[in-house]
Amino acid sequence: MSFFLVSIKERLSLSLCLPSLEPLLLFILAFLHFSPCVSIQVFKKLTTLFKTLGVKAVFDTSCSRDLTLIESCYEFITRYRQCHLTTDEKSKLALPMISSACPGWICYAEKTLGSYILPYISSVKSPQQTIGAIIKNHICQMLCIRPEDIYHVTVMPCYDKKLEAVRDDFVFQVEAQGEKITEVDSVLTTGELLDLVKSRSVDFASLEESPLDKLLANAAEGGHLYGVHGSSGGYAEIIFRYAAKTLFGKEIVGPLNFKTIRNSDFKEVTLEVDGETVLKFALCYGFRNLQNVVRKIKAGKCEYQFLEIMACPSGCLNGGGQIKPKAGESAKDLIQSLELKYMENVTEADPLENPIIKGLYAEWLDEPGSEKAKKHMHTEYHPIVKSITSQLQNW
């Protein structure tokens, strides 16, 4: 599962709004991939560990992922209708819609593919940046804390998340002349987190289990965790189900039938109505598959309406920042084991029914796709023009 933790920045006086709180460091850990068969125990032990380091609270970023999925569902429906209900050639660029949660893919698209591919990429922020926007905007306002007094760290399975966190698009100012505030102040990988545990000689197994902080965590009253299926976010599956119901009135019950096409990292799922294929989505992991799809899009021959693209083969479970296989264990075996265990003891739940997300819309964002949601939950991508020096060096 995925976790993050929160505490309050050094030497901050909160006596006006939070008289009972000690001024501590705010530190958020997000998106930790541990075996879900012990995820609730790991979650509670991590809460204990980080609170001994001055942390205020620990949350599960499956919550912010649910928010990105809802915004992605609404964006897809808007794009689909724009593409099918108008004759404008520019509207045809609305599809396929491509997921935007993988910073490795985004970096490649901006630096190498340029303007022709960027219009297809979803404008919805990744769960990492979504949770940053929630913390630095809504939660700060709710708790009467200045966002510049929050230090937000995420823990991710991917080194490229460090690059994502420092994008200018994810920096804002509360006042015109005020301090620039980043949604995410720092990023650790899961491997670096393990190094932190080892450096402090922590016997993780013997740590006590602390109560969970539920402000922004997908933790039910009974103590179990809940979230969507899919170790890389579940974008294709959730959007497919939502589109089938919204556009064609088809309620899909049970697992989706993803068919392997070229290899285990390229799969597709389709919906047929009256013998006609009306939806065709694909999972596309790894640069080999990614480049094949990009060539088809450029040639105007892509048959998919949505693509869940991840740069790493096998997706996020195989991220470059992940904890490495043990001696004698192959990476393939480790990934297969993680995929089998990922949803054990975790209840699958519809993001649209998440009470925390409903609260965020009611208190802050109004509704999916609203102007407030676009301001805080969406972003833009930009082609990166290489300097003459770099072009000459490449030549």
Question: What CATH number is attached to the domain comprising 138?
Answer: 3.40.50.1780
The amino acid present at 152, given as its one-letter code, is H
pLDDT score recorded for residue 12:
30
The residue-averaged pLDDT of 246-273 equals: 94
The answer to whether position 364 is within a domain reads: no
pLDDT score recorded for residue 343:
65
Rounded Cα distance, 34 and 3, in Å: 10
296 phi and psi angles, rounded to 5 deg: -70, -40
Q: Cβ neighbours of residue 46 under 8 Å, at least 6 residues apart?
A: 3, 5, 29, 32, 58
pLDDT score recorded for residue 77:
97
Q: Are 164 and 293 in a shared domain?
A: no
pLDDT score recorded for residue 25:
33
Q: Are 175 and 31 in a shared domain?
A: yes
User: Last residue of some domain: 200, 222, 244?
Assistant: 222
Q: Which residue has the higher pLDDT, 356 or 15?
A: 356
The answer to whether position 366 is within a domain reads: no
pLDDT score recorded for residue 72:
98
pLDDT score recorded for residue 392:
53
The answer to whether position 218 is within a domain reads: yes
206-254 pLDDT, tens digit each: 999 988 888 888 888 776 788 888 778 899 999 999 999 999 999 999 8
In this predicted structure, the answer to whether residue 11 has a pLDDT above a threshold of 70 is: no
| Residues 344 and 41: beta-carbon distance below 8 Å | no
The residue-averaged pLDDT of 373-394 equals: 77
Q: Are 206 and 84 in a shared domain?
A: no
Sign of the Cα torsion 361, 365, 370, 375 reads negative
pLDDT score recorded for residue 305:
97
| Residues 21 and 13: beta-carbon distance below 8 Å | no
Q: Are 136 and 284 in a shared domain?
A: no
pLDDT score recorded for residue 19:
27
Q: Are 326 and 206 in a shared domain?
A: no
In this predicted structure, the answer to whether residue 6 has a pLDDT above a threshold of 60 is: no
Rounded Cα distance, 85 and 23, in Å: 55
| pTM for this predicted structure | 0.87
The answer to whether position 380 is within a domain reads: no
pLDDT score recorded for residue 341:
67
Give me the residue label for tokens 């949770």. 131
Question: Across all residues in the chain, what is the average pLDDT?
Answer: 83
Q: Are 136 and 282 in a shared domain?
A: no
281-339 pLDDT, tens digit each: 999 999 999 999 999 999 999 999 999 999 998 888 888 888 788 888 887 788 777 77
pLDDT score recorded for residue 75:
98
pLDDT score recorded for residue 213:
82
Rounded Cα distance, 279 and 304, in Å: 8
The residue-averaged pLDDT of 160-168 equals: 94
Q: Are 188 and 209 in a shared domain?
A: yes
Least confident of 7-16, 120-129, 291-300: 7-16
The residue-averaged pLDDT of 268-278 equals: 95
In this predicted structure, the answer to whether residue 89 has a pLDDT above a threshold of 70 is: no
Rounded Cα distance, 7 and 27, in Å: 5
The answer to whether position 206 is within a domain reads: yes
User: Last residue of some domain: 196, 222, 248?
Assistant: 222
pLDDT score recorded for residue 91:
62
Q: Are 237 and 301 in a shared domain?
A: yes
pLDDT score recorded for residue 268:
96
Question: pLDDT-derived band of residue 122, with 50, 70 and 90 as boundaries?
Answer: very high
- Residue of 120, 122, 71 whose CA lies nearest to 99: 122
Question: pLDDT-derived band of residue 42, with 50, 70 and 90 as boundaries?
Answer: confident
Sign of the Cα torsion 100, 120, 105, 331 reads positive
pLDDT score recorded for residue 332:
78
Q: Are 196 and 317 in a shared domain?
A: no
The residue-averaged pLDDT of 334-360 equals: 83
Q: Cβ neighbours of residue 76 under 8 Å, at least 6 residues apart?
A: 97, 122, 239, 242, 243, 305, 306
User: Last residue of some domain: 163, 198, 222?
Assistant: 222
pLDDT score recorded for residue 44:
86
pLDDT score recorded for residue 109:
95
Percent of the chain with pLDDT over 90: 50
Structural tokens at position 133: 């926007």
pLDDT score recorded for residue 18:
26
The answer to whether position 147 is within a domain reads: yes
Structural tokens at position 139: 């939660």
135-150 pLDDT, tens digit each: 999 999 998 988 988 8
In this predicted structure, the answer to whether residue 1 has a pLDDT above a threshold of 50 is: no
User: What is the number of domains present in the chain?
Assistant: 2
Percent of the chain with pLDDT over 70: 84
Q: Are 50 and 156 in a shared domain?
A: yes
Q: Are 283 and 242 in a shared domain?
A: yes
Question: What CATH number is attached to the domain comprising 341?
Answer: 3.40.950.10
The answer to whether position 144 is within a domain reads: yes
- For residue 288, the enclosing domain spans 65-124+229-353
pLDDT score recorded for residue 226:
87
Question: pLDDT-derived band of residue 387, with 50, 70 and 90 as boundaries?
Answer: low
| Residues 69 and 124: beta-carbon distance below 8 Å | no
Helix residue spans in the chain (DSSP H) = 39-51, 62-85, 103-108, 127-133, 140-142, 160-165, 190-199, 235-248, 287-298, 331-341, 355-360, 371-377, 388-394
The answer to whether position 372 is within a domain reads: no
The amino acid present at 168, given as its one-letter code, is D
Q: Are 252 and 194 in a shared domain?
A: no
